[in-house]
Structure 1
C-alpha cells in the first residue's frame, strides 16, 4: 500500500504543469514547420517547466497542508502555467490560419516573422517560470524529500461492486421492517420516512428496499427521485409526470402550476395500480405535501400507495409521519464485519496483530457506515501494521460530531489523501456533476481526457484505458458507488455519496480546480465569475434564467463550460445568447450544454480550440463548420425530442478534416459523407466510436478512412447491407472492431448474414442485433465468431420456432440476452454449446416452453434471469436445484435465479 500523502501539493497545479509539458512535447515533435521561427522559445519553456513537473510528480508525505507559503506557490504555478498555455493556444490557432494564407505560402519569411512576434510575451512567461522553478525546488528541498517520477505499468484494479451487489452489513432487519410497512401496512396512502445523520446509510437502505424484486409484485410502478436542497415542489411533480406519462409529458407540463400538475398525475394513477415514490434527501415538508396531493386517496377505494423518503432532519420526518423509521448507528459487531468485508474482500478475517488497530478505528468511527467504508478504502488489502497504526491515529484526531455533519468530511479526506497524486484531480472532478447524478462512465472518461486530467505519456485509446483503471481504482477504494455494470463486468454508471460530493466541491474550490456557478434559493443576483485567472472550468448546476456570459470582457483562461441540471433532465438556458460564447471564451476546450435551440454558425464560429462538444438542440443538418476544429476529440449530438421532422442527422464533408476526432455519438443515426479523395486527406482517421450511423454511410471508402473503429452502431434500413445479394465487404476494412450494433427499422426485405460478416471474427467481442428477423438457422454463423463474449438479441433479432446450436459453437460466449423472440418455442442445447456462459437473460419470450436442462452442466453459469417468460420458469427452477445440489457450499460463485413476476421458489 502506498504511503499516506497529505493533501498539500495541489492536484490542479500538478495537472496544469503536466498538461503543458505534454502539449509542448507534442508541439515540438509534430509541428516543426508550423512553429518555425518560434521553436527555440518553445524549447526553452519546456526545459524550464519539465523540472517543475518532475518535482510535483512526487509523493510528499512530510508537507503540511496548512502551509500558506505552499498555497501561494501553487497558485502562482497555476496562474503562470495558464498564461503560457493561453499564449501557446493563441499562437497555434493563428499559425494554422496563417498556414492556409496565400501570401505565407509564397513568402515563408512572412510566416517566420509572424511567429517571431510572440517573443516578447514568451520572454515574460519564461522569466516567471524560471523564478517559479527555483522557488519550488527551494520549498521542497527544505523538507529533505527527493522527487520521484511517475512509475508506469500500474496494474488494473478490480471493478468495484455494483451497489445492489454489495452486502449491506446490519441492514437486513431495518430493510425487512421497511418492506413490511410498504407491502403489508395500511391500505391508505402512507408515508415512511427514513431519518438519520449523514453517513448512516439512509439512501443505501432505501436503495436496498427499492431494488428488492419482491416489491414488483406489490406495486404497479416504482419511481425514484432525488430531491436535495435546490428542487422546488413543482420540479418534483414535473419529474413524476415525465415518469407516468412518458409519451406526451412535454405537452402536459407546459404552463402548469403545482396544483394542475398534481391533478394530471392523479388522473393517470387512478386508472392504474398502486405506486411507490421514493424521495431521496428531503429537506422541506412542502415537497411531501404536494406529492401527497397527486395520489388518489379515496376512503371508499383504498389503494395502498406509498411514499418513502430519506431525510437528515427529525422535524421533517415527524411532520409527515407519526411513525418515522429512525436509522441507528451500527453495532460494534456489525462495524467490525463491515470493515473486514471491505478491507479483506470477504476472503479472510483480520489478522490477530491488526485487531487492536481494527478495534480502535471502529470505535472512532462511532458506527457510521460511511466513515467505516471510506477508511476501509484507504486500507483495502493492506497487511502492514505500520499503515494501520497511521490510519488509526489519523482517524482519532477527528471524532464524528453528530451536530456537525462536516466533521464526517475528515474521514473522506483520509481516504483522499491515500490517492496517488496523479489521480487526485480526476477524483475531485466528480464534483462538476450534480449531487445525486448517475454518471455514465464512458462520458466521464471522455471528459477526463479532454480536460487533461489523465497522466500524460499515453496516446489515442491507451489514455482511455488508463482512465478506466482510474475509475476502477476509485470504486475499489469505495470512493464512488457503482450503480450499474455492463454485461462484461465493467462499470457502466456510478455515483458519488453526498458527503464525498461535498468534499469534492470544497476541495476543488480550495485549489481552484473548478468553479460552480448557480443561483442561491431566493437570490435574484447572478453570481460573478471569481478570479478568471484560475477559473478554468465553470459548472452550471441549476437552471439559470440570466445571461451568465460577461459582455464587457474576454475570459481567456476559461477552458470548460459544463451545464448540468440539478434534476438530471434538462437545463433551461433559453435566455442564453450563444453568440457571446466565442467572444467571451475564445480558448474554450470543453463545451457541454444541454437543451439549447441555436444556430451552429453563430454558436461555434471561432471556437477552434474545442476538444469536447456535447450539445442538445433542434437540428438535422450539421453545416460545414468543422474545418478548423483541429483538436476536437469527442462530439456528442443530442437531438431535441420535440423534433420529429427527420429520423437522421446529416453531417457535411468537413467531418473528415477532424483528424484527432476519436468519438462521435448521436441519438439520431448520422448520415456520413464519403471522405474526400484528394491526396492531402489520405491520412486515416483516429475515430474509435461511431454510434450511430445510417446503413448507407457504411461505404468501403468510409471504413477505409475510419479503419481504427472499435465501436460501431448502425441504425436504419439494414437491407442496404444485409439484403439479398448485398455486400458486407466494406467491413473488411475494419481492423480493430470490438463492439457492433445492428438496429433495423425497415421490414420490406428479408435480411441474411453474409459471408463477409466473418471478417470480424478475430476482434469482435460484443454483438447486438435488433429487429433483424434472421432465421434461427443462421444463428449458428454467429457461433463461429471466436472472440464473441457478449450477444444481445432484441426485438425479434431471430425468428422461427426452434433453435438448435451446433456442437462446440459459442465457445467463448459469456453473456447471452434474448429479448422478445415472438415465435420461439423450443431451445435445444443437446450439442453442448455455451461452455463459457456465465449470465443468461430471457425477456418477454412468451412462447418458449423450457430452458435447456443441459445448462445445468455449464461449469461457469452464475445467473439466470427470466422476465415475463412464463412457460420456462419451471425448467429454470429445475436447473437451479440441480446446480445447487452439486455446488460446493464454500464456493465463492453462487448461482442465482431471478424471475419476474417473482415466485417464492426462485426469489
Structure 2
C-alpha cells in the first residue's frame, strides 16, 4: 500500500471501497505481484477484495491465511487465471521444530546453553506444538534471567503463565470462539468437561450434545449426522484436533489443546455454563448448570450431604476410590436422587467407582442421559422405566442378565448399550421402542428373534448380538435369526459376538457394516453368503481361527474396508475380480497359512494397507512385495530391510 500511496499521492485514504479496489486493480495491472492477506474470517470479505487483483497470467500470486477451512477452500476454488493451490493445513510442530522456534524467540541468533537445553525442551513440550503458545512463551523467557532457577518455575505451570497475559495469547485464541456461529459455541465450551490430554470418544460426545439440547433438528436428517457436522465444523475452525479415525474415515476420537481447554473453562465460568471441581462439596449457591468432577487419586471422598442446587449435568473422570468410600455404595446416584431432581445428564462411566442404581432413580424425571459403571452383576430396578425422558442408557460395564419388564415404556430411548448377553423382556402386546437407534449386548434367543421380526425397533440402525454361552447355532437357526431382522429396514451395522456360525443360504439384508467378534466356527459357505451382501462396505473379523476365506470374482463387490485381527491358522484365497472396490486393508496380529498378496496388490482401488505385528512368514512376504504406485503400505513395528545373519 505504501507504493500505491507514493504513486497516487495524498488523499487516497479518503476513497470509498469501490474506488480503492479500482485503484488497486490499476496499480497491479500488467505487473507481476505477490499479495499476502492475513487472517481472513469470512468468505464475503474475500469475495469483496478478490476483484481488485487482476488475472494477468504472468506468475502473480495471492496468499491468504485463515483459521477457517471453509474460507480457504472457497478462495482456492475460484475460477480465474491465477493458479489455485489446495489449502495447506498447518500441522502442529514436532519437538525439534518447537525447540527451534522457541530458541529463535529466546536467544535470537544465539544458541541455548547446554545446561538449560534439557529443562527448556521440557518446558516447550508443554505447548504441545502450538506455534502461538511457543512464541508467547519464548517472549516471556526472553526477558527473564536465563538461569536454571528461573526456568524451573515454569515446569508444570506453562499454561498459567500463558493465560496471565491475555493480550498475548488467550485473547488471540478467543477471537476464534467469538467468531463462532452461536449454534457451535455451546458445543465448543462443552470440551471443558474433559481432563487435560483426554482422548474424547466422538460418539459419546455426540450423545452428550444431543442430551444437552445443543443439536438442532434439520428437516428429516438424522440428528446424529447433524451433530457430526457440528464437530467437523469445529475441526475446520482449527479448534479441535482429530486423534484417531474410524475405518470408514470418520472421526473416532478427538482432543483439544490445553490452552483452548483453558479458554473453554474461563469462558464457561463467565457465562455460568460449566464448572470443573475436584470434590463433591458443591456450593448450593452455584449458578453453573454443569459440573465436571476430576479426581486425582483421592483415597477418600467426603459424603457430607449437599443441598439442592441448579445442577443439570454431572460428569466425572478418574479417581482411585478407597474400599470404605461411600461412593462404592452408589453415593453419587443417591445424592442426585435426593437433592438434584432437575438433572438431565449423568456421565460417570469414566470414574473408578462402583455405582448401584437406587430405586429412587425415578425421582430424576428429567433425566435424558445415564452412563455409569460397575464391576459386578446387578439388577436394574423397574423404577428406571419411569424416566420417560431417557434417551441414552449406557450399561456396558454392568453384568445384566435381563432388562426390567417396563423397559418398553421408554419411548424416547435412542441408545441402549449393554455388555450382554442380556435378554429382552417378553411382551404380549405391541409394545416397542420406536426411537431406538442403537441396541447392543442382546442375547440371540427365540424371544429376541420374535421381537425383531415383529418390528418392535423400527428405526434401529446398529444391532449387537451376543451368545449366552458360545452355543452352536446351526444353519436353520442362523438364517432364521438373520431373517428375523429383515423388518429393521434402517439397520446398517450388525455385530455378532462369540457365535459358531454356519451360513449356506443367501440373506437379503441392506447392511453396510458387519463385525464378527470371537467366532468359534465360521464355515467357508458363510463367507460366500456375506460376500453376496450388495451394500456391505466394511467388514471386521476379530478373534477367529481355523477358517477358509474364499473370494470369487463376484464376492464383496461393494466392500471398501476389510480389517482382520487375531486371525490364526486360516487360509485366504482370492480370485481375480474379487473385492473390486477395496480401498483399505488392515491386518493385525494375524497368522495365515495362505494369503493372496499378489492378488491384493493388483486391486486398482486399494490405497492403504496397514499391517500390525505380522508373524515372521508374513513379514518375509512383505519384504519381497513390490508396491504399485498410489498404494501405501504401513508395517508396525517397522521391518528390517534385510534379515540379519550371524
CA distance in 2, matches of 1:313, 1:773: 65
User: Which residue number in structure 2 is paired with residue 315 of structure 1?
Assistant: 152
Instruction: Judge conservation of contact 1:850–1:876 (CA < 8 Å) in 2.
Output: no
User: Which residue number in structure 1 is paired with residue 106 of structure 2?
Assistant: none
User: Which residue number in structure 1 is paired with residue 86 of structure 2?
Assistant: none
2:379 to 617, 621, 624: 621
Cα displacement string for residues 731-789 of structure 1 (whole angstroms, at most 9, x for unaligned residues): 222211111111116xxxx5312536x231x2433433432421234312211111111
Q: Does residue 344 of structure 2 align to residue 507 of structure 1?
A: no
Larger RCO (CA within 8 A; separation ≥ 6): 1
Instruction: Judge conservation of contact 1:195–1:202 (CA < 8 Å) in 2.
Output: no
CA distance in 2, matches of 1:598, 1:169: 42
SS in 2 for 1:600: coil
CA distance in 1, matches of 2:556, 2:154: 54
CA distance in 1, matches of 2:226, 2:262: 26
**What's the CA shift for 1:167?**
5.4
Q: Does residue 424 of structure 2 align to residue 677 of structure 1?
A: no
User: Which residue number in structure 1 is paired with residue 465 of structure 2?
Assistant: 714
1:407 to 168, 178, 197: 168
Q: Does residue 610 of structure 2 align to residue 865 of structure 1?
A: yes
Q: Does residue 569 of structure 2 align to residue 823 of structure 1?
A: yes
Q: Does residue 338 of structure 2 align to residue 583 of structure 1?
A: yes
User: Which residue number in structure 1 is paired with residue 635 of structure 2?
Assistant: 898
Q: Does residue 551 of structure 2 align to residue 805 of structure 1?
A: yes
**What's the CA shift for 1:725?**
2.8
CA distance in 1, matches of 2:284, 2:504: 60
CA distance in 2, matches of 1:901, 1:651: 48
Q: Does residue 607 of structure 2 align to residue 846 of structure 1?
A: no
1:417 to 178, 184, 189: 178
CA distance in 2, matches of 1:597, 1:768: 30
User: Which residue number in structure 2 is paired with residue 607 of structure 1?
Assistant: 364
Instruction: Judge conservation of contact 1:663–1:687 (CA < 8 Å) in 2.
Output: yes
User: Which residue number in structure 2 is paired with residue 651 of structure 1?
Assistant: 403
Instruction: Judge conservation of contact 1:767–1:788 (CA < 8 Å) in 2.
Output: no
**What's the CA shift for 1:173?**
6.9
Instruction: Judge conservation of contact 2:191–2:256 (CA < 8 Å) in 1.
Output: yes
1:690 to 410, 415, 439: 439
User: Which residue number in structure 1 is paired with residue 215 of structure 2?
Assistant: 454
4+ residue segments displaced more than 6 Å: 172-176, 316-319, 400-403, 718-721
CA distance in 2, matches of 1:598, 1:850: 47
User: Which residue number in structure 1 is paired with residue 235 of structure 2?
Assistant: 475
1:742 to 474, 488, 496: 496
SS in 2 for 1:794: strand
**What's the CA shift for 1:898?**
1.7
Cα displacement string for residues 778-815 of structure 1 (whole angstroms, at most 9, x for unaligned residues): 3122111111111111222x633x53311132121111
2:533 to 782, 785, 788: 785
User: Which residue number in structure 1 is paired with residue 393 of structure 2?
Assistant: 635
User: Which residue number in structure 1 is paired with residue 17 of structure 2?
Assistant: none
CA distance in 2, matches of 1:577, 1:441: 25
Instruction: Judge conservation of contact 2:495–2:516 (CA < 8 Å) in 1.
Output: yes
Instruction: Judge conservation of contact 1:561–1:591 (CA < 8 Å) in 2.
Output: yes
Instruction: Judge conservation of contact 1:195–1:314 (CA < 8 Å) in 2.
Output: no
Name the structure with the higher strand share. 2
1:216-227 map, 5 Å: none
Distance 1:313-1:559 versus aligned 2 partners, 3 A rule: farther
Note the aligned Cα RMSD (angstroms): 4.0
For structure 1, the residue ranges without an aligned partner over 5 or more in a row are 1-58, 62-153, 159-164, 177-190, 205-310, 320-326, 328-369, 371-399, 520-525, 641-646, 888-893
Q: Does residue 121 of structure 2 align to residue 194 of structure 1?
A: yes
2:417 to 661, 665, 688: 665
SS in 2 for 1:828: strand
Cα displacement string for residues 679-708 of structure 1 (whole angstroms, at most 9, x for unaligned residues): 5x3x65211111211122632224521132
Distance 1:620-1:591 versus aligned 2 partners, 3 A rule: same
User: Which residue number in structure 1 is paired with residue 143 of structure 2?
Assistant: none
Distance 1:599-1:171 versus aligned 2 partners, 3 A rule: closer
**What's the CA shift for 1:528?**
4.0
Q: When the two structures are aligned, how many residues end up with a matched partner?
A: 513
SS in 2 for 1:563: strand
SS in 2 for 1:842: strand
User: Which residue number in structure 1 is paired with residue 600 of structure 2?
Assistant: 855
Instruction: Judge conservation of contact 1:193–1:317 (CA < 8 Å) in 2.
Output: no
Instruction: Judge conservation of contact 1:198–1:405 (CA < 8 Å) in 2.
Output: no
Q: Does residue 460 of structure 2 align to residue 699 of structure 1?
A: no
Give TM-score scaled by structure 1 length: 0.51
1:514-525 map, 5 Å: 514-518=274-278
CA distance in 1, matches of 2:514, 2:244: 18
Distance 1:619-1:166 versus aligned 2 partners, 3 A rule: farther
Cα displacement string for residues 344-390 of structure 1 (whole angstroms, at most 9, x for unaligned residues): xxxxxxxxxxxxxxxxxxxxxxxxxx9xxxxxxxxxxxxxxxxxxxx
CA distance in 1, matches of 2:528, 2:393: 37
**What's the CA shift for 1:413?**
0.9
Instruction: Judge conservation of contact 1:685–1:705 (CA < 8 Å) in 2.
Output: yes
Q: Does residue 628 of structure 2 align to residue 883 of structure 1?
A: yes
Instruction: Judge conservation of contact 1:848–1:869 (CA < 8 Å) in 2.
Output: no
CA distance in 2, matches of 1:738, 1:175: 48
CA distance in 2, matches of 1:312, 1:744: 59
SS in 1 for 2:203: helix
**What's the CA shift for 1:316?**
7.5
Instruction: Judge conservation of contact 1:853–1:875 (CA < 8 Å) in 2.
Output: no
User: Which residue number in structure 1 is paired with residue 84 of structure 2?
Assistant: none
